Structure 1
Amino acid sequence: MKSFIQSTIVITTLFLASCSSNEKPAPKEEHHANENSVELTAEQYKTIDLQTGKIELKSLSGTIKVNGILDVPPQNLVSISAPFGGTVKNTELLQGMKVRKGQVVAIIQNPDFINVQQDYLDYKSQLDFLKLEYERQQELSTENINAKKTVQKAKSEYESMRARVNGLKARLQLMNISLTSIENGKIQSSSSILSPISGYVTQVNTNIGAFVTPSDVLFKIADTEHLHAELTVFEKDIPKLIVGQKVRFTLANEDKERIATVYLIGREIGNDRTVNVHCHLDKEDNQLLPGMYLKGLVESGSNEVTAVPDKAIVEFEGEKYIFSEVKADHKNEHAFEMISVKTGVSELGYTEIILSSGKSWETLKIVINGAYDLLSKLKNGEEAGGHSH
């Protein structure tokens, strides 16, 4: 009986030792010896339609962030004044109103306007008389009846009066008073001010009854059909700019993207170390107004950079990664390593990547389709392994 009990203990001990030895390898049998590696069976590889490729050299455009405003060229923004002082008799302009070239924007009244018209009629009458006298003296001179001195005097008086009449004509034209009306006896005490361009009223600085002088700016009118973008670019970014580059910009409180083209690059650096860059809008928009604030990106030319398709890059916990294929430890399996990268310029479905030191991009075989499936399997596998311990 004692011998039987001893035999039973020995067998039980051996059985437990055997069980214990069978359980020991379990912790070592991990699918992910490296926390950044993952393996797929041939079936899994096919199921997720995993595709591999190479890191490529691509010409991607760099961009420069800029701020600016919409503005109009000097020839498309006019300040309107009264050439001669007077009282504003009438104006119907309001800010934002559209006006056409030649339209009356205000009527100025001044009693002195009457004097100018009367002088014109008086001098013109004298001019006609002096012209006839000069011609008569010339005829007499050809017959040697009068002295040359008399002819010269007649000519001098005629030329002097003609200059006065021409000066008054120019003055009346500035007043926009018709010479024909004056010569027909219609004298007026008011002068019309006309708009020199078509556009929109941006400022109204007067009102009916106000007395104005030639130095007063009554209105400002802008032709918004030729707005341009005036960008402020930092000194360090100027070498990257060339005429003809495209600018993508949006206005404040607007998501619509608009396009402009660099037309002129300033030659003076401001106190804030910036340079003004003049850009023409690719598509005119009459709804835009001078002074609108904008934010934009200037395409600063193309550079050869290492790049991968956008879908080859995955993001996890704020970091960017790609997967490269490595040699598998088991037959019929594919192994992949997750590599941390920094990203740069993105364009046309490709994104610039910068590998960590020690990695040679030319030799890597990367996953270009199915990267997020690998990330999911990798992280789920880690969690499952964590629960089993």
Structure 2
Amino acid sequence: MVQIKFSVAVASILGLTTAKKVFIDNDGLAPLQVLFPLAAGWEVLGISTSFGSSSVVDAAGTAFDILQTYNLSSCIPHYVGAQQPLLRTQDTFDAWQSLFGELVWQGAFASFYEDTYTWDNFTYNETLPGAIAMVEAVKANKDTDPVYIYAAGMMTTVAQAISIYPNLVKEAAGLYIMGGYFDQQYAAATGPSIVNDINTDINLMQDPEAAQIVLTANWSQIYIGANVTNYLVPSQALYDILINKAGGLSVLEDTPYFEFVSNLVATGNYSENTSEQTLPFWDEVVSAFMVWPDLIESTTNFSVAVDTSFYSPFYGSLRIWGADYAPKGAITGNATIVNKINDDKFYDLLVSTYFQDWRQYCEVGGPVALAGYE
């Protein structure tokens, strides 16, 4: 059930976090992935956009639109990250599917994928590739306020950064990733296509080698969203709260600042979309518990690795073991997998964050009250 308890739940959790820094890499940025850290008092040092669920140009175009809508471009630099996986190609992606079955969601590898943007539609910081920008951000802050890395798409850009600067894993504060589902075979095999989709780990499967490099590096901490990110989904109750708080559906649809809220509501009963198009808050959930760790209610520590055997039905899947049972002949990493968060607080934070005015953030260093929604 979605509830709004701003005076207690949101106000109290906002006060738990001291200023921290994060660098974000994604293949399809979500607004709250940027706004949640800012709401918690964190500094977003940069965003890199990469190939994966979207083509590189579409990932970059989406990020540009988000930064423009919230007027954040002047203080959050935007770079282009990995433009292709380390090893995987369209041909090997298709060959693997022929051997082991087609994925419902194939991202930018889908045969029917067409770019929405062109490079002429937007601008970005062309002075550095995303991996170099990530390295520079970590190096510049390692002695004062170490940077967290949040990777919510393929791990390729992070793997590139590690290859360029191995000390990244020691000098960063830690790594958070969206992905790493496990034990989902039955649900994927027996459910409708949407269930198959949300139980397919495309972020790791599009570049398994990069994922293995990143997840087995010697980070001070790794947090994996994994299965918990599938459980928080839009609902009619949430749509109603957003619409009522805005003052009506027409206000959402006619106000440019509410574009992304309107897009969210359009996945519900106020459009002709079906449940097949109503996806979980994947990236947003990890962003939220990264900056508000008080949201986390249950975690488990595992030894982890990614299957990098091409002739395996689990190629690109996360494998987990208890520490005492991890394989001795394979490279593994140590990770904390989040099992449960406080759902009500997450939804409260979602609503409160969307109804603040971020357009003056770069000037004043924080959100201001949104006129008419104080």
Q: Does TM, normalized by the shorter one, top 0.5?
A: no
- The TM-score normalised by the length of structure 1 is 0.17
Higher-Rg structure is 1
Q: Which of the two has greater strand per residue?
A: 1
Structure with the bigger RCO (C-alpha within 8 Å, sep 6+) is 1
Q: Which of the two has greater helix per residue?
A: 2
